[in-house]
Amino acid sequence: MPDPEQFQEFQEHSVAEFFKKNRQMLGYSGKIKSLTTVVHEYVTNLIDAVEEEEDNLPEAFVKIEELGPEHYKVIVEDNGPGIPEDYIGRAFGQMLAGTKFHRFMQQRGQQGIGAAGAVMFGQVTTGKPTKVITSQGDGEILECDLSIDVQENKATLDNKKTYSGEMKGTRIETEVKNVLYQKGRYGVDEYLRRTVLANPHLKLTYVDPEGKTIVYDRAVQDLPPKPKEAKPHPQGVTVDDLLGYAMQSNSQKIKSFLKNDFTRVSGKKAKEIQEKVSFDLNKRPGDLNWDEAEELVNTFDEIDFMRPPTDVLVPIGEERLKKAVEEQLEPEFKTVIERKPKAYRGGVPFVVEVALAYGGKAGNDNGEDEIEAMRFSNRVPLLFNKGSCAITKSVDSVDWDRYAVKENTPLTILVNFTSIHVPYIGAGKKAIADEEEIKKEIRLALMKAGRKLGNYLKGKRKKKQRLQKKKTFETYIPETAKSLADITGKDEEEIRKHLESVVKQRFSDIGEDED
């Protein structure tokens, strides 16, 4: 007989408590990574929030203040619409709350954890709340201290005060300890540099702990189109997904649920599904059981649906990405490839963009020429867990020697993955899952861009060889002219000029400035 005493320790825990104990799952592991993660979460939320407002180009202010050893204050301010008082707690102090998790659309953040995770990290490392200052409209500003009740997964607002003033947007101030500011490929500086590169419509002012101010101006002066909310594709859902959608549906019949709540399911397709399944699609969606849902999902795989619509995706864009690369990297050569949209897992649309930049400021900024690979998802930089990411594996699978790329080539490889659902590995959103369809598209884009780069590098190498050959001829012209003058008795100066003319004509493809 079971012993009841064994079960007396059972307790319920909130999602906030879970992530408090397992904050490494949100990216808070390692002192440098933790500081970068705080900035990442706030800046990601900032851009999304400002872009929700019509005709408002995002502008961000980021400041890192050093307060002591491994003790910093992170300040992030935007030019968005501000946050109403009733929503501050849900926006910054409640896990899995917000405007993103339930929406089937392309977004930088997806889970409703990020900003609250940053607030909680500051709270558990310093014991202090996060200060929020936000516009309430009509010249009114609200200031408060925000903390999280982890047992209840709820926010508490203390020291609230409202006053008059001119402010547009929201300012967040979070103190964090046991973190470390350091320049380098995993630090805040690099994260912000890459953020501006993938968001050329963003203006960002950054003040580092040493007081140095860097201003990243916009490379383009217009907002990208707003992503559209999508419906799930039948071939991109699992049995559990289908049951969840059915429970939330307002439709009275499974037949109408499939037509109304999914994309690419017409009346004709619904009839075809009915002919293949063993139960009546006129029953209520809420009455669907696991076996029936499993039968439906298996049936979806047998039916030839149209591909999911791709107008719901908004990548960076070829011209915008070119301008961003020019602005930030000033390359000698660049190429941008945007693949046609595809789908993974049968019905989740995605699109891949690749940019290659050679020369100028391209390559790792470590004093030596070196290849630099930048990973992005929905325009958000992915700095960590690169070894397990589908982008890294795709880059590593390409035979770069074929395109005249060596280890010391000053090259930046930029890959942006855009989708209504990014298959992240873990809640920290640091790497993209190893999906074959995704890796294939990235690899194809890289190889196409590589061919263009290879043609340029081979042409450059050939030109260099011809330049060297030209210089060799020019070196021997005076001696040759003198020898010919001695043999023929003709004027040495005329012979020299004639030989220079012959060499110049033969190497006419090499400009004067390349000599």
pLDDT tens, position by position, 428-437: 678 999 999 9
Which of the four pLDDT bands, split at 50, 70 and 90, describes residue 100?
very low
What's the pLDDT at 16? Answer: 44
Strand partners, 206: 62, 214
Q: How confident is the model at residue 149 (pLDDT cuts 50, 70, 90)?
A: confident
Given a contact cutoff of 8 angstroms between Cβ atoms, the answer to whether 380 and 428 are in contact is: no
More confident residue, 131 or 308: 131
Looking at the DSSP assignment, which residues form a beta bridge with residue 71?
68, 177
Residue 228's pLDDT band (cuts 50, 70, 90): confident
> 382 or 513: which carries more pLDDT confidence?
382
User: Higher-confidence residue: 144 or 488?
Assistant: 144
Can you give the residue ranges of every domain in the chain?
15-216, 234-300, 318-456, 462-514
First to last CA, the chain: 93
Phi-psi region of 254 (alpha: psi -120 to 50; beta: other; left: phi over 0): alpha
More confident residue, 439 or 478: 439
d(Cα 117, Cα 41) in Å, to the nearest integer? Answer: 8
Same fold across 15-216 and 318-456: no
15-216 belongs to which homologous superfamily? Answer: Histidine kinase-like ATPase, C-terminal domain (3.30.565.10)
Average pLDDT over residues 373-400: 94
pLDDT tens column, 285-327: 999 999 999 999 999 999 999 888 888 899 999 999 999 999 9
| pLDDT one-digit tens code per residue, 243-270 | 989 998 999 999 999 999 999 999 999 9
Tell me how far apart the alpha carbons of residues 80 and 217 are, in angstroms, rounded to a whole number: 18
Question: Is pLDDT at 495 greater than 90 in this prediction?
Answer: no
- Cβ burial of 428 (10 Å; 0-12, 13-18, 19+) is buried
CA angle in degrees (0–180, nearest 5) for 62-193-135: 30
Q: Answer whether residue 6 shows pLDDT above 70.
A: no
> pLDDT digits over 160-179, tens only?
999 998 898 999 999 999 99
CA 309 to CA 319: how far, in whole Å?
A: 23
Beta strands in 22-139 (DSSP E): 59-68, 71-78, 130-137
pLDDT tops 90 at residue 468: no
Residue type, 199: N
Judged by phi (left if over 0) then psi (alpha if -120 to 50, else beta), residue 77 lies in beta
The confidence band for 512, taking pLDDT boundaries of 50, 70 and 90, is low
In DSSP terms, 264 is beta-bridged to none
Average pLDDT value for the chain: 86
Distance of CA 95 to the CA centre of its chain: 22
Instruction: Give the tens place of pLDDT for each residue, 324-338.
Output: 999 999 999 999 999
Characterize 29-47 residue by residue with b for buried, 16 or more Cβ atoms within 10 angstroms of its Cβ, and e for exposed.
eebbbbbbbbbbbbbbbbb
Residue 251 and residue 268: Cα distance in Å, rounded? Answer: 18
β-strand 154-164 against 140-149: which pairing, if any? Answer: antiparallel
- Which CATH number is correct for 318-456, 1.10.4190.10, 3.30.230.10, 2.50.20.10, 3.40.50.300? 3.30.230.10
| Alpha carbon distances (Å) from 219 to 198, 212, 222, 232, 329 | 10, 22, 9, 34, 12
Q: Which residue has the higher pLDDT, 347 or 436?
A: 436
Per-residue confidence (pLDDT) for residue 4, from 0 to 100: 55
Mean pLDDT, residues 41-70 taken together: 91
Residue 97 makes CB contacts below 8 A (sequence gap 6+) with 90, 91, 112, 116
CA distances to 318, 380, 443, 453, 478 from 440, in Å:
20, 21, 5, 20, 58
Task: Among 29-33, 230-234, 294-298, name the most confident range.
Answer: 294-298
Q: How confident is the model at residue 97 (pLDDT cuts 50, 70, 90)?
A: very low
Phi-psi region of 166 (alpha: psi -120 to 50; beta: other; left: phi over 0): beta
Please tell me the distance from the alpha carbon of residue 245 to that of residue 250, in angstroms, as a whole number: 10
C-alpha span between 312 and 309 (Å, rounded) = 7
pLDDT class of 143 with cuts at 50, 70, 90: very high
User: Can you tell me the distance from the alpha carbon of 424 to that of 299, in angstroms, rounded to the nearest whole number?
Assistant: 27
CA angle, residues 401, 406, 411, in degrees to nearest 5: 110
Residue found by looking up tokens 């397992």 in the block: 22
- What is the topology classification, in CATH, of domain 234-300? Helicase, Ruva Protein; domain 3 (1.10.8)
* pLDDT (mean) for 66-87: 94
Q: How does strand 203-207 pair with strand 71-78?
A: unpaired
441: its two tokens: 């598209």
Instruction: Give me the mean pLDDT over the 60-82 stretch.
Output: 96
Please name the residue ranges forming H helices in 335-397.
Answer: 390-397
The order of strands in the sheet holding 140-149 is 154-164, 140-149, 130-137, 170-177, 71-78, 59-68, 203-207, 213-216
Q: What is the pLDDT of residue 285?
A: 94
Q: Tell me the percentage of the chain whose pLDDT exceeds 90.
A: 55
